Amino acid sequence: MTGLLDGKRLLITGVLTDASLAFHVARVAQEQGAEVVLTGFGRLSLVERVARRLPTPAPVIELDVTNSEHLDALSGKVSEHVSGLDGVVHSIGFAPPSCLGNPFLEAPWEDVATTVQVSAYSFMSLTRAVLPLLSERASVVGMDFDARQAWPDYNWMGVAKAGLESVTRYLAKELGPRGIRVNLVAAGPVRTMAARSIPGSGDIEAQWDSRAPLGWKVDDPEPVGRSVCTLLSDWLPATTGSMVWVDGGFHAVGA
């Protein structure tokens, strides 16, 4: 299939390297006909270099989702590149070291608050910031890691992801009357820079392929990229407030 996203204008956040899930979402989206704008934080020159590796080099906007000035200016900066938005991808998460791998009971509130703000609250603040640009049938998609259970060492990031899942449902309720869909993709483990920062991620990776009914390749981001793009397309017009698992079926089986 080609042309799934013909004419779609997309804002994709969270690209850091060409191993980032967001990079592969952007790549597949462009291959399917979309016009893409990226955001980057911190090492902006690195993101700009990575953006040039896409099939069509994409513009990059600096965005710190904890910075109100960045959020207030976002719509204007996006409008410099596209006339509106048909889709947004939130692929942003961060937790200080005390919130990952260390004893759960010892993380200070200041670090927990940062984790929740960046990884959950920002889904709402990003969506709100670009709301004036969203078309009537727009799609907003967030990246998740199934938070229905407690994962080893995931700790407060797991709590933040559970919050992200709840934010999704409330956003879907609020934006549904405008025709805007809001969903999550809960991906299995993929070897990205973010994944490598999680203590014990190798142990999770090791068991995933053997337990997932369809198997799972931790070095293959293509299934995740395609699934996000399907949600961004017009092919799921009545799906909102949902979490789509892209994990080889791992979530469906017991230990």
Pair 194, 186: CB distance under 8 Å = no
List residues with catalytic annotation.
Answer: 154, 161
Count Cβ atoms below 10 Å from residue 103 Cβ, excluding itself.
Answer: 8
Task: Give the separation between CA 135 and CA 121, rounded to whole angstroms.
Answer: 22
Cα 243 from Cα 184, distance rounded (Å): 5
